[in-house]
Structure 1
Amino acid sequence: MAPEPLTALLSRLSRFKALAAERELANSVLGPLVRKLPFDQELALLLAKFGWHPVEGFTGTLDLAGLKGALQKYKYIKIGQLGSGSYGVVHKAINRETNELLAIKKVVHSVEHGLSDSTIREISTLRELRHDNIVRLKDIIATVNGNHVHLVLEFLDCDLRHYLDTYPVASDVGRIKSVVLQILRGIRHAHANSIMHRDLKPQNVLVGVESGQVKITDFGLARCFLPNEDRAYTERVVTLYYRSPELLLGAQYYTSAVDLWSVGCIMAEMVNFEPLFKSDTEIGLLFRIFEKLGTPTPEAWRELPGLAYFSEQFPRFPPRPLAELVPRLAGDAAGLDLLRRMLVYDPRQRITASQALEHPWFQGVVLPAQ
């Protein structure tokens, strides 16, 4: 099937290696494609800025990079703001040619400093990871000497935080199983490609309300890892409520197991309707975890004494029964077992994403069509 006219023109512009083209070349190569575009007043004004005349074609040297960036922006119609943060602003948009709903993330780009590390990580990660349960990067809009870069992403109705707060169906155990299963599928794919997310939380999980689709997003804190890699990482990753104990205790060396702790916290929150561990400070959160799961011991976690923030003076809390912490699962032995294995203190003993996907708790769960 032949591409739509605008897509065909943008594809041809992408194949140019130069930033500009002489009039004759522009008219011979691009002119026929431009004439196939379904003109409207906005497009006519856009092309006129680049020297396009309806009869004569391009009337001078053509700024190829500038035209490509302008046409990319024209391709997507913004129809509302979805959110904002330190990274920039996210808009809901529609593809002018296909009517596909999309999310456009606008991030700062400076000539002096370029893109932020988190944006570079996100772009490189999403280019590598192609999976039904990971949000897809559709396009990148960057203009020469521009102050922003736009990431065009798949659109889903809302994030898991909004879903839990708004839709009663989110409390259904069958729906919870489907959401957790899909998160694990996305995380398994990331880990299989040696990438850990490091910031899993309900705000970074997108949900299709009607479709039931779930996709992991926001890989700005993701990083590559190698099995048995002896390299120090920063422990200041993952939003506080979902941060694993090894990170809270200052581990310099950690593994993709940090993501499984976060999935366990998300699962418990979906069941309980509120976070399982909650505090505004790291030490406070650590003690909330100890109060519920019991204070860890070196016998159960061999690396514990060597962690930077561990202290022999920590208060000694006995573990509470998990069925008491997550009462809706009190009669669900499989659900309690899966949650217990994700919330294991020792990351070496914590269940992996691949193992979790084989867990009996997911027996009979049907994934939504993609």
Structure 2
Amino acid sequence: MSASADPSTPSRKRSKWAQDDEDDQEQPLSIHPQKRRVKARTEFPDSTSQQSTSTPAPFPPTRHSYSAYVPPRTRRPSILPSRSVYSYERLNQIEEGSYGVVFRARDKQTGDIVALKKLKLDEEKNGFPITALREINALMSCRHENVVGIREVVVGDTLTQVFIVMDFIEHDLKSLLTLMPSPFLQSEIKTLMLQLLSAVNHCHSNWILHRDLKTSNLLMNNRGMIKVADFGLARRYGDPVGVGGMTQLVVTLWYRAPEILLGAATYSTAVDMWSVGCIFAELLLKEPLFQAQGEMELLSMIFKLLGAPTNNSWPDYSSLPLAKTLSLPSPQPPQFRQKFQHLTTAGIDLMMSLLTYDPERRITAEEALQHPYFTESPLPKHPDLFGSFPSAAAGEKKRKVFSSPSAPARLVDYKLLTEFDDVS
């Protein structure tokens, strides 16, 4: 962030309120107010005064300015103002999403490299957006080694300049899968899945739904650690649901669970687990599992892979709002084995447990962490053994590989320099 403001930025002039505050700080008020002269009155003792002296009245109860169940203000943490965004030096822009623009910046005091997410508040007419409040609250509630860490919230010169300061991570899985010449190994996929399931289990234990899990929201550093990011659609699922229910405008289309596609008004942690299953398949295939252009095409692709839903596989299917508007294809067995030919039997079982129609039967993150797929050979690779890649977010360019000349194909065609005719 450049310290120089553009012409539209208001100048930093000290207002009259600021000058008055400075004057008050320089000239503190007297602690003892001026005493009024009170004329002393002479009271003569009588029988009633003597009787009251002999039997003193009970001590009056002490009046507190706060409730007895609330600790005194001295025991509460002090509320500090937010730092200025000009405490950071802007380096480059990383990406722009639906709810903000992410920059790479450097802390001028410590030199730490961080990620600054500028919230989009220019078109807000109803105050601070609820999505930003939910994101900040979710990041503060889900402190975990596989969840991106929030450091602070800083502000600029205007009310629309609010930034979330987070840890900077070099890559995201979507970009890595696109640029990698070959997919991850089975041992590496197990390590990534264990970290993802651990983060999702921690969020669900804290009553947080992410509602937008995808490979582009999974950040990865050069030490094999992934961190779940972008909590813009997250919310607490233990809160009372409003009159209109929970919105269906959540989760990127390719990772959206079938119950949301069919108009379910209430849903829970199972929607995140369906997204985890789509990410698992993408790590294996090196491309998204359901690359649909619309919701109807996505449903047909799901029906083709899982087979058409039945009363046995999904008892509540007929009660969904959009179920009656669809004509189901003829029943057929699932096509997981044909789609994932190199996956073990335990891996197929985990995939089918994640991509299950009935949300009540879909595996949870805690159960998935104990699945036999992660204990069979090959075992998960240690994160330190992962390879490193140039970071596009840090402005690093991929090193150019120079092609070396090939070896001679046939010895007969090779001639020494001395065998050529002398040209002199």
Q: CA deviation at 1:278?
A: 2.0
- Normalised to the residue count of structure 2, the TM-score between the two structures is 0.68
Distance in 2 separating the partners of 1:91 and 1:308: 42
1:36-185 alignment to 2 at 5 Å?
A: 72-109=84-121, 112-143=125-156, 145-168=158-181, 170-185=183-198
Higher-helix-fraction structure: 1
Pick closer, same or farther for the CA change 1:19–1:145 going to 2, 3 Å.
farther
Counterpart residue type for residue 154 of structure 2: I
1:320 aligns with 2:334: yes
Decide which of 245, 250, 253 is 1:240's aligned counterpart. Answer: 253
Shift of 1:138: 0.8
Residue among 219, 243, 266 paired with 2:279: 266
Contact kept? 2:99, 2:232, Cα under 8 Å? no
Report if the CA contact (8 A) 1:277-1:285 is conserved. Answer: yes
Q: Say which SS state the counterpart of residue 254 (structure 2) adopts.
A: helix
Task: Please tell me the root mean square deviation across aligned C-alpha atoms, in Å.
Answer: 2.8
Aligned to 2:7: none
Q: Distance in 1 between matches of 2:236 and 2:373?
A: 30
Superposed CA offset, 1:71-123 (max 9, x none) = 63232211111001332311111222332221101113358533222111111
CA distance in 2, matches of 1:19, 1:160: 48
Counterparts in 2 of 1:274 and 1:296: CA distance versus 1, 3 Å: same
Instruction: Decide whether aligned partners of structure 1 residues 19 and 83 sit closer, same or farther in structure 2, where only a CA change above 3 A counts.
Output: farther
Deviation at 1:367, TM superposition (A): 5.6
Correspondences of 1:327-366 after superposition (within 5 Å): 327-329=341-343, 332-363=344-375, 364-365=379-380
**Which structure's residues are more often strand, by fraction?**
1
Q: C-alpha displacement at 1:164, in angstroms?
A: 0.9
> Are residues 1:22 and 2:22 paired?
yes
Find out whether 1:280 has 2:330 as its counterpart.
no
Could you say if the C-alpha distance between residues 267 and 338 of structure 1 is closer, same or farther in structure 2, counting changes exceeding 3 Å? Answer: same
Query: Highest relative contact order (Cα 8 Å, sep 6+), 1 or 2?
Result: 2
Q: Percent of aligned positions with the same letter in both sequences?
A: 37
- TM-score (normalizing by structure 1): 0.77
Secondary structure at the aligned position of 2:104 is classed as strand
Q: Cα gap change, 1:227/1:77 in structure 2, threshold over 3 Å: closer, same or farther? A: closer
- How many residues get paired? 311
Q: What is the alpha-carbon distance in structure 1 between the residues aligned to residue 207 and residue 283 of structure 2? A: 28
5+ residue gaps, structure 2, are 1-16, 29-78, 385-424
CA distance in 2, matches of 1:163, 1:334: 26
| Structure 2 Cα separation of the partners of residues 74 and 145 of structure 1 | 13
Q: Given residue 297 of structure 1, which amino acid in structure 2 is its aligned partner?
A: T
Consecutive unaligned residues of structure 1, counting only runs of 5 or more, are 1-17, 29-64
Matches of residues 201-212 of structure 1 in structure 2 within 5 Å?
201-208=214-221, 210-212=222-224
User: 1:92 is paired with a residue of what secondary structure?
Assistant: strand
Instruction: Determine whether 1:310 maps to 2:329.
Output: no
Change (3 A) 1:188 1:230: farther
Which amino acid in the other structure matches residue 365 of structure 1?
Answer: P
- Once residues 118 and 130 of structure 2 are traced to their aligned partners in structure 1, the CA distance between those partners, rounded to angstroms, is 15
Name the CA distance, whole Å, in 2 between partners of 1:368 and 1:272.
Answer: 21
